[in-house]
Amino acid sequence: MSFYRNAIWFMKGLQEYTKSGYEAAAKNFARADLDVILTGRSFMITGANSGIGKAVAQEIANRGGTVHLVCRNEGRAHAAKEEIVDRSKNQNVHVHIVDMSSARQVWEFALSFTQNNDLNVLINNAGCMVNQRELTEEGLEKNFATNTLGTCILTLALTPALKKAEDPRVITVSSGGMLTQKLNVDDLQFEKGTFDGTMAYAQNKRQQVILTERWASHHKEIHFSSMHPGWADTPAVQSSMPSFHAKMQTRLRTEAMGADTVVWLAVSAAAAKQPSGLFFQDRKAVATHLPLALSRSTPQEDDKLLSTLEELALKFKP
């Protein structure tokens, strides 16, 4: 079944996830959707010092929004801020240094942030693909800690503040690679069998989509969405998937193309009219499973994922 899923997914990707796929979809975009002024609205973007996260931050700053860049590397974060401010002339760009793989750091940051700041939109963009099984200082598998648990903790910790805001939204940057995976809630940290970093990443991305659906059902006051940016030419793709990047480089989307649907979900009135909890690609809600792929988990498995993560998250809460 995994061979079938991978083959169908790759063929789908060649048609839809590439630069030409974006260009075809963009013919139907309503350009006015992004003609908005964001003065007075606050946006938090994780993994914002490069790639899609930085491109999203730039678009929001260009429209006058207050931007909070949550980054791990201080030097690159401040360099990104300087570039964003220089291009947008928007001084309301702020840097927060947080390692999203550290559950304690994420908790401490989120709880501190809400004491001094308002927030309208959270964009969970930070991610990693570590190709050898590696543990964090807290004893967690690094892909899981960053992509799933860190995202979960940040979202849970900021939910009370978001509920107080006008038109609150949470967007999680997932990946179409999740279509190749069925949720495995019994091995969230890949302790069994041979470790495969690409598979671990895709499993994390499946988890993010399920979490988005569950959060939407539990927190009606907030509009949740997840999305696939397509195959974009980013530093993360270059470093984590060098062979794929080398073969596909001329067909990859630009960072701005990858960021487009994130921005649309974060700022447009049209996106807010969509039901909460959906998975988007090129400004359209799309299926979360391939045909005949047998990748659907049960509601009980989905609930177990959320409860397991919430229980684990609380162990690291200050």
Catalytic residue numbers read 201
Pairwise CA distance, residues 20 & 30, whole Å: 18
Candidates 103, 108, 131; CA nearest to 244 is 131
Pairwise CA distance, residues 130 & 135, whole Å: 10
Cα angle for residues 136, 313, 226 (degrees, 5° grid): 90
Compute CA distances 230 → 70, 92, 109, whole Å. 23, 29, 30
Q: Which contacts of 78-87 are long-range, i.e. CB under 8 A and separated by 24 or more positions?
A: 79/49, 80/48, 80/49, 80/50, 80/54, 83/58, 84/54, 84/57, 84/58, 85/61, 87/58, 87/61, 87/62
Q: In this structure, which amino acid lies at residue 59? A: E
